[in-house]
Structure 1
Amino acid sequence: MNSRVTMVLAVLLLIGAVVAGYWGLVLGRQSPAPAPVANVQAPASPVAAPVVQAVDDSLRQPVLVLVHDLPPNTALTAADLTIERVKVAPAGSFNKLEDAVGRSALRALAAGTWLSESSFDAGGSLARMIRPSERALAVAVDEVIGAGGQLSPGDYVDVMLFLPQDAVNTDKSAQLVIPALRLLSVGELLGPTIDGQVAGNKELTSDEKFKLEQRRSSARTVVLAVPEQMLSRLMLATQSGTLRLAVRSAQEKNLQRYWAGDNEVAARLDSTNRNLVHFAQLSLSAAPRMPAVASAARTARGIEVIRGNQVTQQTP
């Protein structure tokens, strides 16, 4: 009896388990899937970007730029020009097409050049590197005169002169001819023009710059910016003796003062005696050597003897 009851209970439990499983499977198929969580982002303000762009454009300034290479003596047309808006406009640059249309430059202008009145001025590279009170003068140099081939455009140098002994100059001497002259060029390597552009209006490639730098150390001429009132002095010095170019320190900031409008550095530093040093001052003797002509004059003078109306000279 007990075994029959046990078997009946086991069958009932099995049937209940099957029914519960089936019911659970049915309910699982009918339940809806959970809705995905949307990635909610704050909507971007539709006016933010235009406002920033408008503010940026308001700070930019128009600059007239050349679109194509322009040969010399060729009239500009509107098709050759464009207006670009930049944050900092170059000083003196044009900002309207009317400023340049119909005008022609006496030299070639490269594409990308911003135009100003200096773009239409006459003159070559050196003429546009100096001010009206200056003159560009070439000086022959070698590795010794040119500071070991280490000169660069923009350096300031003192021109030293050594005078050898000869029939006219009875004593060797050295002097500072002109101080603080600006180097305009070293060989073929040119400095910038007064308006800050590349001399010759040509942007050099990296290979061209490298070749010029290689030839700089072997340059045989340099061009100096000489104040007009000192031009004759330097010309005489180049023909009188041996020159040396002594490089001045960059910490003197002579070039910065020049670009700020001060071009009288050499005139201010000039002295009356130009630091004249005789060779006798460098020798070990205390007194300088007297010229041979004066010594001979004292020896030939003798003693004057008067006898009546006769006057004779006798050498002791």
Structure 2
Amino acid sequence: MINLTKIVAAILVLLAIALGGYAWMLGRQAPAKTAVTAATPSDRPQSQQAPTYPVVVAAKPLPAGQAIPADALRIERLTVNPAGAFQEVATATGRVPVIDLSEGSPLMDNQLVSGLALRVGEGERAVAIKADEIMGVGNKIQPGDFVDVFITLKSDGKDVDRSQARLLLSRKRVLAFGSASVDGLPSKTTDKQQQQAQRTEAPRTAVLAVSVDDVNRLTIGDATGRLMLALRNPNDMAEPDPKLFADLPTALQPASLRPGEPRRAPLEGLDRAQAGLTAIDLVTGGKATAGRPALTEARAISTGTRAPQSGTARGGLQVEVIRGDRSETMSY
């Protein structure tokens, strides 16, 4: 019994010595760790600092509505990488800001012109016209297709034989049909049910890319007649020869030439668009009418009787011309 007590006492003594040695070792290591921890913030390596990102910024003030030249941009390294920022100058060159940007401002995609406007070529305009299932080829037209635009001008009453249908514009590109568009941007509507309703809703408008001097034809044709879109193969490049037909007269006449002034070239582009087109000239093809006054409003009317025949000429469609408080009826 005495031997067992001695053994237990020896074990306890050895255990106490071991615990004391372990405590002594911990006491020596604690100051060293504290010193290392205190030195960490100041001695952090350069590679562990906050990362930077290349971001395109304005090298000088950028006015809204003007294309950005390459020398107006530079790349700076920032500690943040904003969503929509550019990393290369080439990708932002030529874009157009929608707001004024100050020097040093990061260039963001949402600050630049986007959407359908970028799909309109130089000298073109995007024009919307009324659409339905019939005129839209059974709603089979898709953005990016090419179409011919036909117009139907229908006379009233007994003058049905004077109705006409003809090609108005040839090979025009469809930019949008209904809610579908060539820019491919998703709908701004976040509600899934509303998005589904937009997809199933019958298209009511078609947006065509039209040269600026043909916008008058399209708009006045949409207002005075019925338009029909004819879908065509994009590889079919055939177009009518404009030399075979006389140009329609313009609503505004060019200013008279001064003595010695050289002859002007035919009106084109914006000049022809500003000169305009009258409904009567669109219907008649610009046939000269003796003493025709300047028109401010014209509309086809049904008289119920035919004009007296003279030789082979027959009475046909009549047009009422309204000038202020005066009204005059002309036949053609």
Same fold per superposition (TM over 0.5): no
Specify the structure having the higher radius of gyration (Cα): 1
TM-score tier by shorter-chain length is 0.3 to 0.5
The TM-score with structure 1 as length reference comes to 0.42
TM-score relative to the length of structure 2: 0.40
**Higher RCO (C-alpha under 8 Å, 6+ residues apart):** 1
